[in-house]
Amino acid sequence: MNHYAGWKNALIAFFLFLSTLYALPNIYGSDLAIQISGTGDIIVNNEDVRAIESALVDNDIDHKSIGLVNSRILIRFNDSQSQLSSKALLKQSLSRNYVVALNLAPSIPKWLSNIGGKAMSLGLDLRGGVHFLLEVDMDAVIATSIDRYENELRSLLKKDRLYRKILKENNSLVVIFNEQNLKDQAKKVIRDELPDLMIVEGSESELQLSLEITTDTQSAAKKSALKQNITTLRNRVNELGVAEPIIQQQGTERIVVQLPGVQDTARAKEILGAVATLEFRLVDEKNDLQSAVNSGKNPSGSKLYYFRDGRPLLLKTGVIVTGENIVDAASSVDQQNNSPMVSITLDNTGGRSMLETTKEYLHHRMAVVYIENKVETIIKDGETIKNRSKTQDIINAATIQGTFSNRFQITGIDSSREARNLALLLRAGSLSAPIEIIEERTIGPSLGADNIQKGLMSVLIGFVLVLVFMGWRYRVFGLVANVALTINLVTIVSILSLIQATLTLPGIAGIVLTVGMAVDANVLIFERIKEELHANKNIQKAISAGYGKALLTIADANITTLIASLVLFSFGTGAVKGFAVTLSIGIITSMFTAIIVSRAIINLIYGGKKVEELAI
């Protein structure tokens, strides 16, 4: 009685060894480091490592080590001054094909990292950086879809001259006809060619048809826009040079962006929130500009645009190339007039279109239109209102002097900073829908370190107080519970390290709660043993009954708490998820340590022995 088989004890010992082994990486701390990776198809290699190391040596910058880690170059430093000096040097010497980012690299021994040992991933509130919660303007997604379907509908019905007029009304299209038979033909064409448009029931008049986008198509458009925005934001963050960013979907309309180590929130907001793209259009040189300005009416096939200084210009509605055709963009300085410019590289489709246009319209003028969408939420009379704005500025209009296709330059940009931002946005791609920053938090590195210190202190104080209470209240059995509790903490740390779950301040709160809850199972067992001792003088039977009869109660209590934590994880966001993760892990590990590990230790102390009295 009260004796585990040898294989069970060996299995428990092996589990405890693994837990200790994989919790070890967290005691080694981290080195200040710089992470260098390639952009696009560029892959860093050993030649890059040697070149960077030579540059550091030539500039007398001390570094701890340098090497390739997971297809990235990682340079470790002994102090922050060397780290910052190296970043400035490398950003200046390396081309824009490389991203240089400050980082913290765990200083884990090689033998431990070779067997998969990793330190816990720390959240933004412990490392420092900025947190943004972005909301995608889904109304703009639907409006864009309506515009696209309007153009398709015009092209489709124009072939047979089936319609008289097409109007946009909110999120629907109204088609007006001259004759009933033309309307019937149009309905058949729409059903066959544009199944994503549905006829609004009850809206039909004699010579009018009201169309809306189907619900499924709207949902697909919203999901696509959200996915595209996440991809674009990842590209932009890579261009910013941020190590280990977190960009993930939250709900159906929101995106969480966390940028560790970034303190310049203005720069981050400027890049993340900008919905900018370019359009290349030919200048309308046939129609009279002044007549269009005076009348306020655009000539057929043209539209009135303005330079940033207010000068008007008529441009043709046909777009030669858009930002979607741009595969690369770099800011530089025009050597002729010392003004900022952006060098553009187009994809094959854009290159062909540009080549055909410049051949046909040689010595004609072509304009570059900078388009930016913004959304801003304001509260007016207690109601939340979204103000949407769209700016379309001509930044350049020049005569086509020769034919070109994939490569050319844009001039007429106001400042070098604007040129850099424009190049970055064009390289990363345009957001498919405007986004608004609805929540912003900044955590400084010193505050992050302070949070870690306070979090550890709270865990230690709670841990020590529980140890003291259990030792005083239950004597030897209390000490056994304390050993199980210590093993439980080590196990939680090792699991968090292995699965690379992000530890946050709420996560630390979950660990503190677990420390208090973990001994509940032992308290139930020990009190049951006391009851059995009063009812039955056989000590071995009392121990066995205490563990056996308390098991169902312990399981019920922990399972209900686990269900609550899983619900928190499923429906919670951000900080709530961090709390739920550590609480869930703590509940599972505490059941193992409180029931199985403590039983194994009690068996070793009292099992199979003639005991006159229990120290409980």
Q: Which residues, other chains included, contact 366 with Cβ-Cβ below 8 Å and sequence gap of 6+? A: 280, 281, 282, 283, 320, 357, 358, 397, 398, 399, 400
Report the CATH architecture of 29-107: 2-Layer Sandwich (3.30)
φ and ψ at residue 133, rounded to 5 degrees: -115, 115
CATH 3.30.1360.200 range(s) for the chain read 276-441
Question: Token digits for 364?
Answer: 């004609």
CATH 1.20.1640.10 residue ranges of the chain are: 6-24+444-606
- Coil, helix or strand for 166? strand
Supply the CATH classification number for the domain 138-218: 3.90.1070
CATH 3.30.70.260 domain position(s) in the chain = 29-107
- Residues in the chain with pLDDT < 70? 1-2, 39-42, 95-97, 201-205, 239-244, 261-267, 269-271, 273-276, 373-389, 421, 424-430, 444-448, 537, 573-575, 608, 611-612
Structure-token pair, residue 521: 């199972």
User: In the Cβ-directed half-sphere of 417, how many Cα atoms lie within 13 Å?
Assistant: 3
3-state secondary structure of 395: strand
Q: For residue 146, count other CB atoms closer than 10 A to its CB.
A: 19
pLDDT at 574: 63
Backbone angles phi, psi at 196, to 5 degrees: -75, -10
pLDDT digits (tens, 9 = 90+) for 261-294: 665 566 676 667 666 677 888 999 888 888 888 8
Show the DSSP H helices in 94-214 as ranges: 110-114, 124-127, 138-158, 180-193
Identify the sign of the CA torsion 326, 327, 333, 334.
Answer: negative
What pLDDT is attached to residue 476?
84
pLDDT of the residue at 347: 83
CA atoms within 13 A on the CB side of 134: 32
Domain at 276-441: CATH architecture = 2-Layer Sandwich (3.30)
SS3 content of the chain, % helix, strand, coil (to 5): 50, 25, 25
What's residue 231's pLDDT?
79
Q: Which CATH architecture has domain 6-24+444-606?
A: Up-down Bundle (1.20)
